[in-house]
A and B are shown apart, each in its own frame.
Chain A
């Protein structure tokens, strides 16, 4: 006869010394856990509520400019710094951690329209309505913090005057060229006082320009004839052009998928295109109620941030039609430029009220050093909330955002307008011969034509 009974010796199941960790044992058998789905649902509800409790996205404002902030530039080599320029010609370098001006580059006579840093971070290029392009030497960030408080004034290393006012500037990745947008698209070299190359298609001024991060010879521009044009420097001519219904204010390339670009349009939506196939938008991101002024992608390539004329900043997923998050403050007026920080943690917005504002990209994120146990708990909360976020109680809490009254009312009006348009279209279709009234899909609706 063979008999065995359970006997647990205390030594095996408890710790030896008080400085050891407690011993834990796992048994993943589902029969030990009755009602596990209900418990999980309860945890999802609690996680959603906790996320809302800890959602404090506004970190701080950077005050200093004397006129509205018109453009910003990231320094690719230095995470803590950001350049910003205002409508009165003032350019500043800010230290994000202390939210103070490190260095001031005064010099432009009128509004500064474009700002960009070279890839190695040593040269800052700015252009403005006073028809000049100025190059500045960026001071190296020193180890002592004492220099941060004193504002240094620096002279430009080079000033190039040209024939027309400039609207935008962008620097090539891994190259020596930078492009300015004005009456036409000009390519400049650091050392030449005249543009090396010039492109023009049509007679309208070019509003914005952006180089492709993956392909250094490709760049996208938008012009005031409501078009988006892609240029290839090797061809020395334009590659492709599409004309839309409304003007595009800004373009951004996806850093992780460099063939895709997203255009911030005047009609309040952003259109994502595949650069190789411009006749149809990949995705239409609609949530702003007024013109979208600026757009920037996160370094992960999964999200982008937009700043709009309707006084709000929104964060969209790269493939989703609606925004994940909206940031607004009573004091923030028209947002003219936004940047996503290079570590994908912060979003910086520059607006008409002369302030740059620093926001967290994930509103309820805990900043600073997080213990691995805390990190696991955050990940678990995120995962369990995503599993049940389609159920009504959890969805209600997750989706809840406070909108400022003008935006809320404007969204209601837009909804009724679109509903009535759709109804009228449906009636027209129902009362006409089948096939005569064709509704274009949303992705194609706003594109008038493509030109070679």
Chain B
């Protein structure tokens, strides 16, 4: 009996190596789905709460394991790749070589659209990557369906267009034109003229909050809620004109690059920047944020691209290259830098925490083309390049996320699904106060106040001290008949009254303020919601 149990133990320990490796893989995947460390339950004294939380933590573990298994077995597509053998280098691979090796559907994604008359083109994609908006400097706006390669609508607005951006879906887009920014519908009708902002240099849309952010020609930052049209914030940055603005997709913070070499990060609820970083000795040409929110790439005129870690705000890597006029990160973490008529794609060769971006692919276009913007297309291995002669699209294997989630972004959306999604995303619209550097703090415990509020005894003591001080001040002896005793006593009484008044008046004032705020809030509410207004 004992011998057989020992044998069993031995059998359990000696696992085949393949299974062990897959266990390790599963562990890393499970960690990703666990979203951080579990709570420390040892410090709890409440037994009921402890058991409740322990069972909840177990459920989290189970769901993370289930999600990891689904990722391993059930996802329909796999990421693209480019692997070279022997002495071949990946950056020597040309688009023509790729076209030979790849299927027809993919090779349809390589093209050049030549429109020389209408100036350098700026691009924007919808979140699902299905629709593209191209805006030429001389006023050409075109809305395209990338799946069918068809033109949905093109309009000529006959003034300069500096930037274009989609709103929450392909039904609406915004264009920054010569004097104001305009919002158009899908069929090209002008819906709104946004006069408050002035001449806009850059437009970006914050998806979760339905905020249209823009920076104008005098360096002012505007946030407008597109659901009700109200201006949420207008911030004077104080750093002068800039047209380098990007949105960090992880925490919806807007990053501006300035001519002094600083990059500042803003949120709509504060007039001062969240972070100011000195990135380059000269003006910052372009900024790009990694989708996981931890990395930022900046480029300056001194022909360097710097990669920054946003958790510690320090530099991770410097790439000595060319003066990159435009930068973009892909969903899988590839960095594209464009200048002149040359695009370079950099890839992260080491996985994990240390980042090491090296050359992955290059692409040079016809000599005369001046690249205006590069942007990776979501969920596809494609990068869109807007340049002075139109726009192009080339294949970059391994840049797009292979598996989309139908509830986040669905490239094969029907109109019914689009309408439903619009309603659901409106219900989930976040208020602008949720924009912060670390969004995981929402719902977490607030750290205990280091400075305690003064207790009533302490306030009384302070009051006594203030009254004593007021009583013991010596008044100046005035001359020329101004030193009447009645006036002196009146003045002393006044001083003591002032000293007394500062204390209760504070409480009284705050109470008045609170009541006023509550009344205002209650007055603004529609009648059906009046019962939720706080009555004090």
Residues of A near any B CB (own CB < 8 A): 1-10, 12-14, 22-35, 37-43, 46, 49, 52, 387-388, 391, 396-397, 400
Can you list 8 A-B contacts (CB < 8 A)?
Answer: A2-B83, A29-B403, A29-B405, A35-B252, A37-B443, A42-B428, A42-B429, A42-B430
- Nearest A-chain residue to B101, judged by Cβ: A3
User: In the complex the two chains form, is B402's CB within 8 Å of A6's CB?
Assistant: yes
A186 CB to closest chain B CB, in angstroms? 42
In whole angstroms, what is the CA distance A28 to B34 when docked? 11
Q: How far is the CA of A392 from the CA of B406 in the complex (A)?
A: 33
CB-nearest residue of chain A to B528? A53
- Does residue B39 face the partner (Cβ distance < 8 Å to A)? no
Query: Measured between C-beta atoms, what is the minimum distance from B311 to chain A in Å?
Result: 15
Q: Which residues of A contact B412 (CB under 8 A)?
A: 10, 13-14
Q: Which of B19-59 contact A (CB under 8 A)?
A: 32-33, 35
Which of B102-110, B312-320, B447-455, B488-496 touches A?
B102-110
Task: Say whether B93 contacts A38, CB under 8 Å.
Answer: no
Interface stretch (choices B74-82, B118-126, B149-157): B74-82
Residues of B within 8 A of A42 (CB): 428-431
Chain B residues closer than 8 Å to A4, beta-carbon distance: 78, 80-81, 102, 397
User: Lowest 8 A-B CB distances belong to which pairs?
Assistant: A24-B406, A27-B405, A7-B105, A5-B381, A38-B434, A28-B67, A5-B80, A27-B403
- CB pair A3 B81 closer than 8 Å: yes
Alpha-carbon distance A144/B420, docked complex (angstroms)? 45
CB distance from B304 to the nearest CB of A (A): 28
CB proximity to A under 8 Å, residues B342-400: 379-381, 395, 397, 400
Q: Chain B residues with Cβ under 8 A from A10's Cβ?
A: 147, 412
* In the bound complex, CA of A189 to CA of B534 (Å): 60
The interface on chain B, measured as residues whose beta carbon lies within 8 A of the other chain's beta carbons, has a size of 67
Complex contacts, B434 vs chain A, CB 8 Å: 35, 38, 41
| Bound: A52/B440 CA distance, A | 28
A73 CA / B402 CA spacing, docked (Å): 63
Contact A38 B33 (CB under 8 A): no
Taking a contact as CB atoms under 8 Å apart, the answer to whether B443 and A41 are in contact is yes
Provide the residues of chain B in CB contact with A9, threshold 8 Å. Answer: 105
Q: Which residue in B74, B208, B410 is a CB contact (below 8 Å) of A39?
A: B208
B417 engages A22 (CB within 8 Å) = yes
If over half of B's interface residues share one DSSP class (helix, strand or loop), that class is named, otherwise mixed; here it is: loop
Nearest-neighbour CB distance to chain A for B263, whole angstroms, equals 20
Q: Quick check: A8 and B71 within 8 Å, CB to CB? A: no
- Point out the residues of chain B lying under 8 angstroms from A37, CB to CB: 439-440, 442-443
Question: Are A34 and B430 in contact, with the CB atoms below 8 A?
Answer: no
The complex places the Cα of A12 from the Cα of B390 at a distance, in Å, of 33
Q: Does B249 contact A (CB under 8 A)?
A: yes
Smallest CB gap from A8: residue in B = B77
Whole-angstrom CA separation of A29 from B403 in the bound complex: 10
Question: Given that A1-B85, A3-B102 are contacting pairs, would A32 and B417 also be in contact in the complex, using a CB cutoff of 8 Å?
Answer: no
Verify B443–A34 contact, CB threshold 8 A.
Answer: no
B33 contacts A30, C-beta separation under 8 Å: yes
Task: Check A38 against B397 for contact (C-beta < 8 Å).
Answer: no
What is the CB-to-nearest-CB distance from A23 to chain B, in angstroms, rounded to a whole number? 8
Given A4-B81, A5-B395, A31-B443 contact (CB < 8 Å): no
Asked whether B477 is an interface residue with its Cβ less than 8 Å from the other chain, the reply is no
B360–chain A nearest beta-carbon distance, Å: 13
The interface residues of chain B lying within 8 Å CB-to-CB of A23 are 406
A9 and B105 CA atoms in complex are apart in Å by 8
Task: Tell me how far the C-beta of B216 lies from the nearest C-beta in chain A, rounded to whole angstroms.
Answer: 26
Q: Are A46 and B71 in contact (CB under 8 A)?
A: no
Chain A residues near B414 (CB-CB < 8 A): 22
For the complex with contacts A29-B32, A41-B434, 5 further pairs of A-B residues with Cβ separation under 8 Å are: A22-B417, A27-B404, A34-B208, A35-B251, A391-B443
Residues in A whose Cβ lies below 8 Å from that of B73: none
**Closest Cβ neighbor of B434 among chain A residues:** A38
Given contacts A6-B77, A29-B32, A31-B291, contact A43 B428 (CB under 8 A): yes
Chain A CB within 8 A of B6 CB: no
Bound form: Cα–Cα A14–B407 in Å: 15
Contact check, A1 vs B252: say whether CB atoms are below 8 A apart: no
